Amino acid sequence: MDSLPLSLAATEAPLGVVMRAAVFAGRVHASHRRKGDAQEPYVNHVLEVAEILATHGAPVPAIVAALLHDTVEDSDTDPEPTTLAHIAAAFGEEVAGIVAEVSDDKSLPKETRKALQVRQAPKKSDAAKQLKLADKISNLRAIAASPPRGWDHARRVEYVGWAGRVAAGLRGVNPALDALFDATYRDAMAALAAEA
Ligand code: ZN
């Protein structure tokens, strides 16, 4: 039996891996929807995160991990949950490691997870920092454009502030991404202020 791929570059062309990850994510998220009023297919979110990274010079493993970043967290109640072992087998240990770094421990209460994200952000790898920053950019856009149902103004302002505190620990790896986060944060706060 062939051994599992340890890194992407050694085994296949980057675009092939990226497309394989997009198809994998599309299947895992087939029945998942975003929380916003528009009820968009969930896969739109991971495609957006991957696109942000691809257009801002992030490395291929981070882009592949972006496509897969919510497959473990969001399939835990599915009949056949996706595991980090599945991701390692299909995309290699490096990608699985990045996905593990950006996944929350869902056994912890939500407020604890949010506090941990702030505290642990500076300790992440460069790839995970870029992925988490792109994730927050996508989420801030959604908070302004299509907020989750039932989230009042105060809750959305609190979310944007929290995302800013997480992002503070993710900065310094990719200046273009830092600048995009800052612009998105300003836009989200301005949109919320205009509503008030
Ligand atoms: Zn996400």
Can you give the pLDDT of all 196 residues of the chain as single tens digits? 344 555 555 668 999 999 999 999 999 999 999 888 888 999 999 999 999 999 999 999 999 999 999 999 888 888 889 999 999 999 999 999 999 999 988 889 999 999 999 999 999 999 999 999 999 999 999 998 888 888 999 999 999 999 999 999 999 999 999 999 999 999 999 999 998 7
Domain spans of the chain? 14-195
Q: Identify the pLDDT of residue 168.
A: 98
Q: Identify the pLDDT of residue 130.
A: 98
Whole-model pTM: value is 0.92
CB atoms near residue 78 (< 10 Å) = 14
Q: Which residues pair with 33 in a beta bridge?
A: 41
Residue list, CB under 5 A from ion ligand 1: 70, 135
- Residue 67 Cα to ligand 1 midpoint, Å, equals 9
Is the distance from CB of 46 to CB of 69 less than 8 angstroms?
Answer: yes
Q: Identify the pLDDT of residue 11.
A: 64
Q: Which residues pair with 48 in a beta bridge?
A: none
Polymer length in residues for the chain: 196
Report the catalytic residues: 73-74
CATH for 14-195 (1.10.3210.10, 1.10.3720.10, 1.20.1560.10, 3.50.50.60):
1.10.3210.10
Q: Identify the pLDDT of residue 171.
A: 97
- Residue 9 Cα to ligand 1 midpoint, Å, equals 25
Q: Identify the pLDDT of residue 77.
A: 83
Separation CA 94–CA 43 (nearest Å)? 22
Q: Identify the pLDDT of residue 5.
A: 53
- Residue 4 Cα to ligand 1 midpoint, Å, equals 26
- Residue 135 Cα to ligand 1 midpoint, Å, equals 5
Q: Which residues pair with 41 in a beta bridge?
A: 33
Computed over its alpha carbons, how large is the radius of gyration of the chain?
A: 17
How many helices and strands (H and E) does the chain possess? 9, 0
Q: Identify the pLDDT of residue 10.
A: 60
Q: Identify the pLDDT of residue 58.
A: 97
Backbone angles phi, psi at 152, to 5 degrees: -80, 175
- Residue 171 Cα to ligand 1 midpoint, Å, equals 18
Residue position matching structure tokens 């997480």: 166
